[in-house]
Amino acid sequence: MTVYLVGAGPGDPGLLTVRGAEVLARADVVAYDRLLGPGLLALAPAGAELVDVGKSPGGPADQQGINDLLVARGRAGLEVVRLKGGDPFVFGRGGEEAQALLEAGVAFEVVPGVSAAVAAPAYAGVPLTHRGLSTSFTVVTGHSRHQADTATDWEALARGGGTLVVFMGVAHRAEIAERLMAGGRSPTTPVLVVHRGTWAAQRSLRTTLAGLGGAPAEPPAVIVVGAVAGLDLAWFEGRPLRGRRVVVTRAAGDAPALARRLAAEGAEAVVVPTIAIADPADGGAALAAAAARLAGYQWVAFTSAAAVDRLLALVPDARAFGAARVAAVGPGTAEALARWRVVADLVPPRAVAESLVEAFPAPPGPGGGRVLVPRAEAGRDVLPDGLRRAGWDVEVVAAYRTEPVALGPDALAAAAGADAICFTSASAVDGWVAAGGGPATPPVVACIGPVTAAAAAAAGLAVAAVADTHTLAGLVGALRHVLGGERPG
């Protein structure tokens, strides 16, 4: 087996490399740092051992303990991922860990990551090199815990020209600025300080070398010194939900899709699953039997993406549908079908069961026709009852069931500090309330559709936003309107 030294990137989970995601997905053990992007640990297998080896602010780093952990787990024949912020070989002590593994005879692989040295300035709209301004850049640490480390010659760096990127320099910024000016850098040299670069909470501070010492900077931050810091090619910090924290209550496997959409708008997703998707009480036997006779139905009507995924995972060939037509309760369910390369024949104008009943065609004759409705084990009966009244022979099959998830105090505290909470199903609302989340509900409650909104209102939650289009994109759009000041439509 192998120990992987994986660079997780500086914060934005989208900057994890493909190789990093591959090895993380099969890890037996994940030893992770403190400042990791949200949701990265969710990429590890459910049974993986997660070991927090992050250094707390101001506390000593037990590097020997980390080295011993990696060696011991590696010798035990486990797949070990050492998940490190940024790049493991850029001020990440990856070299020390690799050396320990090499000396112990434990196989290892280095998976480079995107360093904050490059990513933080880029997310702040500053290139490290730019024609006519800078043809080189130097990355340096502004703080060292070890007396034996070679002292940084700031005056020499000043004379060398180009762009300087300083890690861990906030506490010593006044001294750094004085020494750079003593080395010949002009007091008017532009300076950029990027706090929590690539995170939703990223903030950029622009000053000069003379003003750096008194600038209101705080760690963690990257400091960029040089002419390029005067550029402002802004793109990241202007997004409509920048700095907002939004609770995502979807099941753990479904949460990343919404989290990615929120991140694209500048928000930080706080993933607090209130429900889990599980097999129905019969273990899926009825669903498997129905999947084997799909061609015997005139219609298959889906009311959720989860039902789509559960049924189609049992269908080896789309021809199994035969002449059966397919209905989806709304665009979100139709999108789930499209991911399986199945195009919905019927999508009602409103994403509710009542609208699907109204849009459904009449049975083909006095003998009726058969409709399969795969759904949640305790789903609403509006669709099957309405179709039966219209003359259809309806078979309801439990495709899955939802279970409430217990929420610990840390999860509730994280949710309470957020700006908004999203619900994409009535069961997610029920799970939130059952777990005691009511008092921790953020000020803005957003729901994907009217059924979910009705469940939230019945639970005593004040709904501030309901998606016009009952999809994840519509839900994020509703949040943009409420939190970002965007006009509807």
Q: Which CATH number applies to 245-274+405-483?
A: 3.40.50.10090
Tokens of 459: 């639970």
pLDDT at 263: 87
The structure's pTM equals 0.76
Q: CA torsion, points 430, 433, 435, 439, in degrees to nearest 10? A: 160
Q: Tokens 């060292």 sit at which residue?
A: 144
Class of domain 3-114: alpha beta
pLDDT at 351: 84
pLDDT at 488: 42
The model's pLDDT over 51-88, given as tens digits with 9 standing for 90+, comes to 999 876 555 568 999 999 999 999 999 999 999 999 99
Question: Average pLDDT of each block of 10 consecutive residues along the chain (489 residues)?
Answer: 94 93 96 83 90 72 90 95 95 94 96 97 97 96 58 92 95 95 97 94 94 95 97 91 92 86 89 92 95 95 94 92 95 92 94 92 85 92 94 95 90 90 94 90 94 94 93 93 66
Q: Which CATH number applies to 278-402?
A: 3.40.50.10090
Measure the CA–CA gap between 254 and 192, rounded to whole angstroms: 38
Measure the CA–CA gap between 192 and 30, rounded to whole angstroms: 34
What are the residue numbers of the active site? Answer: 33, 55
pLDDT at 250: 92
pLDDT at 58: 55
Give, in degrees to the nearest 5, the angle at Cα 322 between 280 and 283. 10
- Burial code (b: 16+ CB inside 10 Å, e: under 16) for 107-118 equals ebebbbbbbbbb
Q: Give me the residue spans of the domains in the chain.
A: 3-114, 118-230, 245-274+405-483, 278-402
Furthest CA-CA distance within the chain: 95
pLDDT at 380: 86
Q: Which amino acid is at 392?
A: W
Measure the CA–CA gap between 9 and 66, rounded to whole angstroms: 20
- Closest by Cα among 280, 258, 276 to 267: 258
Which of the listed CATH numbers 2.30.30.830, 3.40.640.10, 3.30.950.10, 3.40.50.300 matches domain 118-230?
3.30.950.10
Residues in the chain: 489
Residue 476 half-sphere exposure toward CB, CA atoms < 13 A: 23
pLDDT at 59: 55
pLDDT at 489: 42
pLDDT at 372: 97
Measure the CA–CA gap between 306 and 254, rounded to whole angstroms: 9
pLDDT at 145: 47
Whether the upstream peptide bond of residue 220 has omega within 30° of 0, thus cis, is: yes
State whether the Cα torsion 56-58-59-61 is positive or negative.
positive
Q: Which amino acid is at 433?
A: V
Measure the CA–CA gap between 145 and 91, rounded to whole angstroms: 12
On whether the CB atoms of residues 304 and 277 are closer than 8 A, the answer is: no
Tokens of 358: 């109204």
pLDDT at 487: 45
Fold agreement (245-274+405-483, 278-402): yes
CB within 8 A of 461, min separation 6: which ones? 429, 438, 441, 445
Tokens of 237: 């910090």
pLDDT at 484: 77
